[in-house]
Amino acid sequence: MQIIDVHGHIGNWTFPMRCSTVSDLQDYMNRCGIERTVVSHSSAIMYDFVQGNRELAEAISGVTDVWGYVVLNPHYFRESLVELDKYKDHPKFVGVKLHPEQQVYRLVHRNVIGLLEKVSELQLPILVHTFPGQTHDLCKVAREFPTIKFIMGHMGGDNWADGIEAAAACENVYLEPCSSFPDAGKINRAVEVVGAERVLFGTDSSLLNPAFVWGMLQDAGLGEDDLNKIAFENALEIFEF
């Protein structure tokens, strides 16, 4: 079975880490049978997004199994537009990453809306970190931009049940359930409410061991068709690798 991880990271965070490089990520991937991972760089999320995007481009250049998200920061609107223009045709960047928790903003802010207008023109998918308290804002902007495919990163985190319900009426919102909250039934509930065709496999690797999330998916007891959709088929429809 193919496995595509739509939510990965490289780089150091604000806590001790053993795995932070592309090589570390690939080691996880090899051990878990993951063929492709889409990542953002921690520096782009927590520090300088321009520098972080550049570091990611350098790190994944020539790498055949890792692709990138360009991180935008709506506090720096014009600079974010420049970053979009810089990476829109880059062969290793296949989507956009928004992280309103670390960068401290709401998805309904006018600067975010302005960036989404440009992303809509480019037809790039967007992975959004959605906890705490961003799931309803995400679905609100998703309704305003129905041609953008939004990935609800972490599916709302500890409030995943509310995240699922919020996404139910937004056909362009995909649920990605990785988190450190391994509550029983969360993947089954996501499939029940939105269908397996709108659930994606993401792990938060290398912040989390991807085997942890793969185990959650296997424990859901899904049929082969649904499992294939979540593991790789849906990602292949969203991303241009």
Kindly list the domain boundaries of the chain, sorted by start residue.
4-238
Give the global pTM.
0.97
pLDDT at 19: 83
Domain 4-238, CATH class in plain words: alpha beta
Tokens 């049940």, residue located: 161
Phi first, then psi: what are they for 44, rounded to 5°? Answer: -70, -30
- pLDDT digits 0-9 by tens, 103-146: 999 999 999 999 999 999 999 999 999 988 899 999 999 999 99
**Three-class HEC string of 121-170:** HHCCCEEEECCCCCHHHHHHHHHHCCCCCEEEEHHHHHHHHHHHHHHCCC
Tokens 């499992």, residue located: 227
Q: How confident is the model at residue 180 (pLDDT cuts 50, 70, 90)?
A: confident
Strands (E), the chain: 4-10, 36-41, 66-71, 93-98, 126-129, 150-153, 173-176
